[in-house]
């Protein structure tokens, strides 16, 4: 594409900076001198995609490989889509401005279920056949990765390969193999068979699923010597694993516009609703020396004024104290702010607050998830109310008069009393503020309650549970708002219709590929955006395919049922998940991994087989 064509294309488009590329640290190679061109697609807007750490890691990793050029692609917003159609163009990559149809491998990272239609939308805009069976050559191989592949079944008909687990090593092996097969002029089928032998590479077309008359899965069988189950790939040692030395620095403001340094993978906590806490096991930490060194390198190469120490629960990092002390040595001098995005409220101390506010003060969000003690025990979110109140007081003393609390509605065993308890807890926090003799003068307190809808996810102890019906969720939301008596507490929530769809696709089977295809034909895209989401179209798509939303979202499964993702092995065993589900029903908590091993099974993935010394 020439500058002039780009200029014409972008006429009248909002935020043209989304579509132009050319940012600092973006990688431009000579396309005639590379063997494999990889289009790394994020099926959402530029601002969301450019905030995603996984993409930054794999982008740098692939571009470090000889003969490989990886470029970034994002979903065009509706105004840009119109312009692309007007100019007769497809979705293009930001580095070369070439259409993705020209690429060898087209990879999508699937971070949430509601982006599935965008994947189809992007392929379609570039005229690439949606179904794997309709793409006959090795060219335009469609691969997917990210958390959603832990149940890749709903998209199984579209993708050639799904990567299970972590990509840093597996991706290199895969692309290397592709390079060899491409050079030899091999056909797609023989390549897929060979690729299936790489750990964590799932080739859906090599597996057949049979169903019972009631629509549940009967069995999954493998062909051509493909492994069964397929085990996810993990990095053994994060200290020696690849990490980018620089990030592409966007021109326009993106959601997370900062440097990100990962401190550990996995989570010791075992909250029973949390998929990330299960599928990223076992816990593996980077040493604090590596974290500080890599973080400094990133800040120097990007010029970012903020670095986020990322993990599922950063205050659980065992080396946080030496890390922060070491980092403050250079961050203060360089005017760089440290942000800890996932703080647990029970590890929140005045000292920690002081350290993270040294350069600039940022907002505080605590995930409490449930309002009442009993329900927190059911979900294994082990937080005492006293601790919650104490930590809020710490925050107030540190000058943070706005605290944001995150809760989930529709959790298993939840009653209306649990809902009221959310408001009551908010009230207790407000009271705590006014009970402080030395409360900050001249400023009131504001407690913001943000409500999500519980979505039962695969590979969690709640994977068998039914989701609340839409009307029940709405009643609960209204009940909470009506139970509030002060304006010091505000409540907000996301569209819960979308959560229903999320529940369907999170635990869906292969038959849903038809529904996705139909929804795409009906024009569904950007389903995570309320301005684009249209539930009527989805209802029509389900009706047209003869499938029911309730079957997937609102049905409790028995332990005997073969679940559509049972053949995908994420380390944690089904026995462990069952045990945890039973403990939830009995409101029994489970200790965190550091205190006592719960025998989840993920340690089998590690060389040596132990995560913690007390295993």
Partner 1 sequence: MKTVRLIYQKTGRAKYISHLDLNRLMQRVLKRTRLPVWYTEGFNPHAFVTFALPLSLGYESRYDCMDFRILNDDLRNDQMLQVLRRALPPDIQALEVIDPVLKAKEVAFAAFELELTCDTDTAAQLTAFLQSDHILVEKRNKKKEIITMDIRSKIRQMEIIPTEDGLQIRLLLPAGPVENINPALLLEAAENSGCVFDVRSVVREMLYDKNMNIFR
Minimum Å distance from CB 335 to partner 1?
A: 5
CB 75 within 8 A of CB 110: no
CA distance 56 to 62: 10
Of 301 and 540, which has the nearer Cβ to partner 1? 301
**Shortest reach from residue 303's CB to partner 1, in Å:** 3
Choose between 300 and 420: whose C-beta lies nearer to partner 1.
Answer: 300
C-alpha to C-alpha distance for 231 and 236, rounded to whole angstroms: 15
CB of 356 to partner 1, least distance (A): 15
> Which residue lies nearer to partner 1 by CB, 169 or 306?
306
CA distance 538 to 545: 11
Whole-angstrom distance, CA of residue 472 vs CA of residue 343: 31
Closest approach, Cβ 18 to partner 1, in A, equals 9
- Residue 88 C-beta: closest distance to partner 1, Å: 17
Residue numbers at the binding site for partner 1 (CB under 8 A): 3-4, 6-8, 10, 16-17, 20-24, 249, 251-253, 299-305, 334-335, 359-361
- DSSP per-residue string spanning 231-270: EPB--S-TTTS---S---B-SS--SS-SEEEE-EES-SS-
Nearer to partner 1, 301 or 413 (CB): 301
Say how many residues make up the chain.
615
Q: Which residue's CB is nearer to partner 1, number 399 or number 575?
A: 399
Residues 219, 509: Cα–Cα separation, whole Å: 12
Q: Closest CB to partner 1 among 51 and 140?
A: 51
- Return the number of the residue (84 or 605) whose C-beta is nearest partner 1: 84
Q: Collect all residues with Cβ–Cβ distance below 8 Å to 148 and sequence separation of at least 6.
A: 110, 111, 112, 113, 116, 155
Residue closer to partner 1, measured from CB, 6 or 401: 6
CB of 296 to partner 1, least distance (A): 12
CB of 351 to partner 1, least distance (A): 21
Name the minimum Å distance from CB 20 to partner 1. 5
Residue by residue, DSSP assigns 155-204 as GTTT-SEEE-B--TTHHHHHHHHHHHHHHTT--HHHHHHHHTTSTTEE-G
Q: Are the CB atoms for 68 and 77 separated by under 8 Å? A: no
**DSSP assignment string, 33-54:** G-SEEEEEEESS-HHHHTT-HH
């Amino acid at each position: 594409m020439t500058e002039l064509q780009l200029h014409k294309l972008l006429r009248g488009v909002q935020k043209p900076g989304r579509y132009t590329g050319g940012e600092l640290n973006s990688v431009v190679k000579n396309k005639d001198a590379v063997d494999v061109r990889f289009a790394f697609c994020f099926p959402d807007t530029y601002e969301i995609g450019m905030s995603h750490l996984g993409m930054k890691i794999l982008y740098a990793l692939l571009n470090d490989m000889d003969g490989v050029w990886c470029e970034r692609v994002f979903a065009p917003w509706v105004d840009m889509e119109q312009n692309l159609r007007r100019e007769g163009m497809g979705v293009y990559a930001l580095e070369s401005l070439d259409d993705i149809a020209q690429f060898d491998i087209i990879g999508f990272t699937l971070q949430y279920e509601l982006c599935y239609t965008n994947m189809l939308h992007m392929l379609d805009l570039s005229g690439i056949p949606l179904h794997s069976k309709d793409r006959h050559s090795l060219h335009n191989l469609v691969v997917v990765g990210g958390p959603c592949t832990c149940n890749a079944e709903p998209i199984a008909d579209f993708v050639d390969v799904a990567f299970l687990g972590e990509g840093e090593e597996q991706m290199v092996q895969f692309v290397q193999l592709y390079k060899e097969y491409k050079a030899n002029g091999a056909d797609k089928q023989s390549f897929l068979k060979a690729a299936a032998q790489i750990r964590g590479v799932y080739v859906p077309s090599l597996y057949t699923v049979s169903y019972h008359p009631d629509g549940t899965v009967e069995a999954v069988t493998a062909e051509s010597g493909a492994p069964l189950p397929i085990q996810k790939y993990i990095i053994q040692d994060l200290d020696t694993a690849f990490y980018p030395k620089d990030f592409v620095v966007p021109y326009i403001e993106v959601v997370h516009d900062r440097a990100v340094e990962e401190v550990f993978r996995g989570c010791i906590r075992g909250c029973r609703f949390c998929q990330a806490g299960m599928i990223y096991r076992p816990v593996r930490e980077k040493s604090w020396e590596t974290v500080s060194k890599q973080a400094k390198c990133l800040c120097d190469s990007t010029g970012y004024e903020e670095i986020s120490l990322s993990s599922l629960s950063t205050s659980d990092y065992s080396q946080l104290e030496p890390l922060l002390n070491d980092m403050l040595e250079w961050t203060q001098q360089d005017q760089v702010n440290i942000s800890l995005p996932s703080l647990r409220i029970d590890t929140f101390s005045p000292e920690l607050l002081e350290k993270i506010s040294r350069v600039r003060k940022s907002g505080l969000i605590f995930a409490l998830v449930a309002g009442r003690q009993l329900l927190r025990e059911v979900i294994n979110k082990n937080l005492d109310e006293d601790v919650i109140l104490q930590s809020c007081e710490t925050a107030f003393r540190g000058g943070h008069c706005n605290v944001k609390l995150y809760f989930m509605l529709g959790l298993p065993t939840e009653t209306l009393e649990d809902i009221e308890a959310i408001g009551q807890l908010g009230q207790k926090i407000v009271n705590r503020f006014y009970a402080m003799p030395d409360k900050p003068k001249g400023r009131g307190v504001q407690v913001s309650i943000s409500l999500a809808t519980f979505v039962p996810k695969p590979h969690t102890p709640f994977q068998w549970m039914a989701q609340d019906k839409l009307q029940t969720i709405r009643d609960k939301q209204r009940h909470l708002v009506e139970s509030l008596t002060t304006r010091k507490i505000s409540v907000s929530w996301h569209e819960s219709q979308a959560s229903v769809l999320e529940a369907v696709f999170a635990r869906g089977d292969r038959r849903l590929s038809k529904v996705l295809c139909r929804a795409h034909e009906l024009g569904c895209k950007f389903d995570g955006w309320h301005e684009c989401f249209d539930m009527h179209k989805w209802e029509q798509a389900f009706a047209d395919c003869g499938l029911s939303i309730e079957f997937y979202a609102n049905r409790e499964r028995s332990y005997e049922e073969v679940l559509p993702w049972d053949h995908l092995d994420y380390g944690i065993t089904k026995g462990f998940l069952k045990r945890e589900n039973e403990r939830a029903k009995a409101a029994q908590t489970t200790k965190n991994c550091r205190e006592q091993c719960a025998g989840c099974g993920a340690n089998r993935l590690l060389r040596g087989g132990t995560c913690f010394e007390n295993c």
